[in-house]
Structure 1
């Protein structure tokens, strides 16, 4: 009789808990994934924050949280993760009533882009670990990975000379009585601007920066139409890094930058066009715009875009063109701009050991790209 009673009691308890878990296991269960930063720079580390909160009386003996993220997020090697076309991960929790658990997972952002996590899969069981309870919840976590910046120490000498000329022409007159800031010396700085007192105190070369009384805009035109198909993504990514690095450098010297690119936004499908501006906010917005470029989308013809330079940029006479594409139609327009008296400089990203690293284009240089080794500045 006792055996029968125990069996019936066990069956009753099992049925009640099974009913409660089937109906209420995910009631007031909140699971979120978020990035610690809204945007980071390529090559920089950040954190993915996972939070699980069980705000009810039922404990959850077993909860699996599954999600997928970009394979360009480099987490450490762990047994509960796999990397194929995406980074797949599942974490296991055991949660008592009214408990909240938060975990932070460090990872490195290895590639420029706009990345999101759109859903979270939840799998649980009842107190007897029987059956499968599953649910899928939406997630709207997003992070922008801005292009990596290339240190001026890695700039070729002819580029440094060209930048010195551009900066000198753009900042026509500096006000010697309006000191803006004191910063570290860069190769493109004039030695006359060195602050010797601060240099002696810190042990590092420091230069004074002044507010200019008049200046011209510098236009950066980035063409994402490749000249070759081979390893074109490596070339285009390096072109984006070069453009963002030059914009950052010009921003440090207080020169307004106008930015045009024929790459398409991943969400709006529009090309990038930013009017002349400067400052930290402008540079951040430019970085986000570059992060959202989808290289899989077809680009607009850049020759017609460049033809509009003389019409739209009557104030700006400084042009930096970045383009691996260098066929006659584009070169003809570039030559016309130079003949009209515009100050132009043409940067040609080219694959080392694949393309001919010589050019007869006036005011131009070859930027060698090794697709096996990309040089990025160190980030802290």
Structure 2
């Protein structure tokens, strides 16, 4: 047999096997890709699982799986897959070789770098022959998503005005005695109201005794977040990290309030990523389900202005809200904000300003202290670097 026939036979065999594997490669080939959890917090590590199965008696020389994921899901470097990273998205590739009636499961560790909703809606499955000459592909539709909640944080004590949130427990100032809930009797102390005197207990003990009431949280927390990082901002935010920190503070305060048995709500002039650019407002309520609903809305929130923050404050005033502990999380304050703050206070609410900018925080605290004394306020600049005072610690 001369060399020409040998080359011809080899070429025919290569083409034959190529066409064969191209036709049978995708046949009875199953694929699943999903996250082990559907929700998590920013900074958590989650697991993405790939399961591919060959349910036929014919092997598959190689399979390549490709999908596009957000760049905020950081892969741990592992063998068997490649990642091409872009600014917003990354292309994830996995390679397999499947024998007959074989199933392969791979688990990938991802770190969630930022809150948001990350869909896993499609993947491309490509198969080929032994020499990689003939290929075939199929586009798969997936219906998976990962919701990453903001990491709940509480601001340090120095970031809150001095008159607010006093005590060892963050929500202690909201806890007031309930006259209808009796916890026992105790000896009279100076300042106890006369109506609380228990005359029967006094007669038995020979000393003046008063009823001791149990405590209940009758106030509600409402956190209002301003996504504008400066007064002249129109739509897009320039300091995204500062606003993200504000979202984490809002989540942390709401978590502490609800865990303490209080009702809590959330409002923002950002908007949910559902096509409707309407401000977010969730009325105060209690329970784990309500807290998870707030976290879900926070995860979906776009950091872009739907309405000016003063419009959001006016909406809160028109809602006739009262008996609320309102926290304004904002990067700046102006005279109009202070006027609306005073209207909220006159309606029976207590209002605390938590500024994300250190200089504004000191100005706000100084202004309020001077208002209590009837004096004027002056602009006081920051005494320490923003990176130092932006730390978060749980106040317990």
Normalised TM-score (structure 2): 0.74
Whole-angstrom distance in 2 between the partners of 1:164 and 1:59? 69
Whole-angstrom distance in 2 between the partners of 1:9 and 1:72? 52
Whole-angstrom distance in 1 between the partners of 2:215 and 2:56? 63
SS in 1 for 2:274: coil
Aligned: 1:303 with 2:310:
yes
**CA contact under 8 A between 2:159 and 2:354: conserved in structure 1?**
no
Aligned: 1:124 with 2:123:
no
Q: What is the aligned partner in structure 2 of residue 266 from structure 1? A: 273
Q: What is the aligned partner in structure 2 of residue 240 from structure 1? A: 247
Task: State the 1:278 CA deviation.
Answer: 1.7
Of the three residues 155, 158, 164, the one matched with 1:156 is: 158
Which of 1 and 2 has greater Rg? Answer: 2
Q: What is the aligned partner in structure 2 of residue 279 from structure 1? A: 287
Q: For 1:123-147, what per-residue CA distance to the aligned partner results, in whole angstroms no more than 9, with x for missing partners?
A: 2212443222223222232111111
More deviation in 36-45 or 52-61? 52-61
Counterparts of 1:92-107 in structure 2, within 5 Å, are 92-107=95-110
Of the three residues 279, 285, 299, the one matched with 1:291 is: 299
Whole-angstrom distance in 1 between the partners of 2:316 and 2:134? 67
**CA contact under 8 A between 1:224 and 1:262: conserved in structure 2?**
yes
Q: What is the aligned partner in structure 1 of residue 203 from structure 2? A: none
Whole-angstrom distance in 2 between the partners of 1:144 and 1:18? 42
Of the three residues 363, 371, 374, the one matched with 1:358 is: 363
SS in 1 for 2:114: coil
Q: For 1:33-82, what per-residue CA distance to the aligned partner results, in whole angstroms no more than 9, with x for missing partners?
A: 21111111111111111111222232111111112212122222457223
Of the three residues 338, 345, 349, the one matched with 2:345 is: 338
Whole-angstrom distance in 2 between the partners of 1:11 and 1:122? 27
Q: For 1:164-187, what per-residue CA distance to the aligned partner results, in whole angstroms no more than 9, with x for missing partners?
A: 488355333365759xxxxxxxxx
Q: What is the aligned partner in structure 1 of residue 258 from structure 2? A: 251
Aligned: 1:84 with 2:91:
no
Whole-angstrom distance in 2 between the partners of 1:32 and 1:331? 55
Q: What is the aligned partner in structure 2 of residue 59 from structure 1? A: 59
Task: State the 1:4 CA deviation.
Answer: 9.5
Q: For 1:200-257, what per-residue CA distance to the aligned partner results, in whole angstroms no more than 9, with x for missing partners?
A: xxxxxxxxxx985561222111121221668421221111111111101111211101
Q: What is the aligned partner in structure 2 of residue 199 from structure 1? A: none
Q: 1:236 to 1:158 in 2, by over 3 A?
A: closer
**CA contact under 8 A between 1:118 and 1:138: conserved in structure 2?**
yes
Aligned: 1:167 with 2:174:
no
**CA contact under 8 A between 1:227 and 1:326: conserved in structure 2?**
no
Q: 1:171 to 1:61 in 2, by over 3 A?
A: same
**CA contact under 8 A between 2:323 and 2:348: conserved in structure 1?**
no
Q: For 1:272-315, what per-residue CA distance to the aligned partner results, in whole angstroms no more than 9, with x for missing partners?
A: 221221222211111111010112x4321221221233342444
Whole-angstrom distance in 1 between the partners of 2:280 and 2:58? 52
Q: What is the aligned partner in structure 1 of residue 226 from structure 2? A: 223
SS in 1 for 2:341: helix
Residues matched between the structures, number = 343
**CA contact under 8 A between 1:306 and 1:333: conserved in structure 2?**
yes
SS in 1 for 2:228: coil
Q: What is the aligned partner in structure 2 of residue 114 from structure 1? A: 117
Task: State the 1:332 CA deviation.
Answer: 2.0
Whole-angstrom distance in 2 between the partners of 1:148 and 1:366? 29
**CA contact under 8 A between 1:259 and 1:276: conserved in structure 2?**
yes
Whole-angstrom distance in 1 between the partners of 2:96 and 2:72? 26
Aligned: 1:69 with 2:69:
yes
More deviation in 270-279 or 59-68? 270-279
**CA contact under 8 A between 2:322 and 2:349: conserved in structure 1?**
no
**CA contact under 8 A between 1:40 and 1:144: conserved in structure 2?**
yes
Task: State the 1:325 CA deviation.
Answer: 3.6
Q: What is the aligned partner in structure 1 of residue 33 from structure 2? A: 33
Unmatched 5+ residue regions in structure 1?
A: 179-209
More deviation in 161-170 or 284-293? 161-170
